[in-house]
């Protein structure tokens, strides 16, 4: 599968709370970040958890989030960030940041 996003793209994690086995941490949902690396394509772990084949494979990214985006009261350095593995199905282009 071809990756939809490239390194440097601004993205936003979908704000969703689906039932069941979810591999996207709740603290990043709805948050904006930047693609820092394309890891590769892998079987969908949310499908694998139910014994399904996990197809089609999905690109997996490292997404870098400013700490202040994740934790509004963060008092550390302005350049501090967190990197989280996020599958493509959870990501949208962040129109607010791009414009």
Q: Structure tokens of 46? A: 């949310």
Q: What is the per-residue pLDDT for 99?
A: 40
Cα 69–Cα 82–Cα 14 angle in degrees, nearest 5: 55
What pLDDT is attached to residue 97?
56
pTM of the model as a whole: 0.89
Compute the distance between CA of residue 10 and CA of residue 34 in angstroms, rounded to an integer.
5
pLDDT of residue 18: 84
- How confident is the model over 35-63, as a mean pLDDT? 94
Give the pLDDT band (50/70/90) at residue 23. Answer: confident
Fold of 10-98: SH3 type barrels. (2.30.30)
For the chain, domain boundaries:
10-98
For residue 68, how many C-alpha atoms fall within 13 Å in the half-sphere facing its CB?
A: 6
């Amino acid at each position: 599968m071809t990756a939809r996003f490239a390194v440097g793209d601004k993205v936003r994690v979908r704000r969703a709370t689906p039932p069941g086995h979810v591999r996207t941490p709740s603290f990043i949902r709805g948050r904006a970040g930047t693609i820092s690396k394309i890891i590769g394509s892998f079987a969908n772990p949310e499908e694998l958890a139910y014994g399904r084949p996990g197809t089609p494979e999905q690109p997996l990214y490292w997404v870098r989030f400013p700490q202040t985006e994740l934790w509004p009261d963060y008092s550390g350095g302005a350049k501090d960030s967190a990197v989280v593995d996020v599958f493509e199905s959870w990501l949208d282009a962040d129109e607010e940041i791009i414009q």
